[in-house]
């Protein structure tokens, strides 16, 4: 499989006031298409920073980031936004649903950036909600959903525009064990049966066990030699 994500010699430095903090140190990484990668590491090691670079939410201070054939380090923020709309689905720890919108309206959001008409959008929304098993909650507002259901809606939203890549930052961080396992089974199924490439940050070894590969990040560098059994 060709690499869908490729980072070469990536440095990320944050400037806080006059102080510069290098968070990622000359990091290189390849993720093949169709992989399910778990990214682990201690708090503050730079996991979210790395994930943001892969998802095109941020640009590296130095180095090359190529995702889905595009050199993200060369794109402006407007171009990045367009690229994200086409290629990435995001899943966050706290779901990040729009509280005013029903589940189906939330799921529809990414489709508003496409050329699909209303009927096509409705059809895709229904399909995405069916994949996550929430067809019967389409009209519910986020406040009327459990944490696990809300995260399913978020996953449906991440999927609905058929992105190249799913990027998940601690998707089960706010859920109990059983609910977390349900979500992880769902992600695994998306990877296995729908062939979605998934990059998932997690603190939880049990969650990482669902992935095909595990990358360990420590103090801004990848630690080699640890691969989970697929």
Ligand X SMILES: Nc1ncnc2c1ncn2[C@@H]1O[C@H](COP(=O)(O)OP(=O)(O)OP(=O)(O)O)[C@@H](O)[C@H]1O
Contact residues: another protein, CB under 8 A: 48, 52, 55, 57-58, 77-78, 81-86, 90, 92, 96, 98-101, 109-110, 112-113, 157
Residue of 14, 79, 139, 223 that binds ligand X (CB under 6 A): 14
Query: Which one of 20-28, 46-54, 85-93, 96-104 is the stretch in contact with Mg ion (CB under 5 A)?
Result: 46-54
Report how far residue 11's alpha carbon sits from residue 23's, in angstroms, rounded to the nearest whole number: 8
Report how far residue 77's alpha carbon sits from residue 83's, in angstroms, rounded to the nearest whole number: 10
Q: Tell me the β-bridge partners of 24.
A: 12
Q: Which does 23 bind (CB under 5 to 8 A by kind): Mg ion, another protein, ligand X, none?
A: ligand X
Residue of 10, 38, 47, 215 that binds ligand X (CB under 6 A): 47
Residue of 2, 17, 18, 43 that binds ligand X (CB under 6 A): 43
Longest dimension (CA), the chain: 53
Phi, psi of 70 (to 5 degrees): -115, 135
Residue of 23, 27, 37, 48 that binds Mg ion (CB under 5 A): 48
Helix (H) or strand (E) holding 31: strand 19-32
Nearer Cβ to another protein (114/188): 114
Residue among 65, 21, 25 nearest 167 (CA): 65
Query: Which spans of this chain sit near Mg ion (rule: CB under 5 A)?
Result: 48
């Amino acid at each position: 499989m060709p690499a869908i994500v490729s980072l070469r010699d990536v440095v990320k430095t944050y400037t806080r006031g006059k102080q510069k903090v290098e968070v990622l140190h000359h990091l290189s990484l390849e993720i093949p298409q169709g992989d399910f990668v778990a990214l682990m590491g201690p708090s503050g090691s730079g996991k979210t920073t790395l994930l943001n670079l892969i998802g095109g939410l941020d640009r590296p201070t130095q180095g090359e980031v190529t995702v889905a054939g595009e050199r993200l380090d060369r794109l402006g923020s407007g171009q990045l936004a367009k690229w994200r709309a086409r290629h990435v689905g995001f899943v966050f720890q706290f779901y990040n649903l729009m509280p005013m919108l029903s589940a189906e309206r939330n799921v529809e959001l990414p489709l508003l950036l496409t050329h699909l008409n209303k009927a096509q959008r409705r059809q895709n929304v229904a399909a995405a909600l069916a994949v996550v098993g929430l067809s019967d909650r389409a009209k519910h507002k986020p406040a009327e959903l459990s944490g696990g259901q809300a995260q399913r809606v978020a996953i449906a939203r991440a999927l609905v525009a058929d992105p190249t890549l799913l990027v998940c930052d601690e998707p089960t961080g706010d859920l109990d064990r059983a609910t977390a396992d349900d979500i992880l089974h769902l992600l695994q199924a998306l990877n296995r049966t729908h062939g979605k490439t998934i990059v998932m940050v997690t603190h939880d070894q049990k969650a990482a066990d669902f992935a095909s590969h595990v990358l360990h990040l420590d103090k801004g560098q990848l630690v080699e030699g640890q691969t989970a059994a697929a």
